[in-house]
Amino acid sequence: MTATYKRILLKLSGEALMGEDSHGINHAIMKRIVAEVSEVNKLGVEIAIVVGGGNIFRGMTSTKDGIERVTADYMGMLATVMNALALQDAMKQGGLIPRIQSALRMEQVVEPYIRGRAMRYLKEGRVVIFAAGTGNPFFTTDTAAALRGMEMNVDIVLKATKVDGIYTSDPKINSEATRFQKITFNEAIAKNLQVMDATALTLCRDQKLPLNVFSIFKAGALKRVVMGEDEGTLVTV
The binding site for ATP consists of: 11-14, 54, 58, 161, 167, 170
List the one residue out of 102, 122, 121, 120 whose CA is nearest residue 112.
Answer: 102
State the DSSP H helix or E strand holding residue 189, giving kind and residue range, or none if neither. helix 185-190
Residue ranges of the annotated binding site for UMP are: 53, 73, 134-141
Residue 65 is classified by DSSP as G
Residue ranges of the annotated binding site are: 11-14, 53-54, 58, 73, 134-141, 161, 167, 170
Distance, in Å, from the CA atom of 121 to the CA atom of 98, rounded to the nearest integer, reads 9
Q: Reduced to 3 states, what is the DSSP secondary structure of residue 175?
A: coil
Phi-psi region of 6 (alpha: psi -120 to 50; beta: other; left: phi over 0): alpha
List the one residue out of 115, 198, 103 whose CA is nearest residue 150.
Answer: 115
Start-to-end C-alpha separation, the chain: 27
Name 47's bridge partners: 8
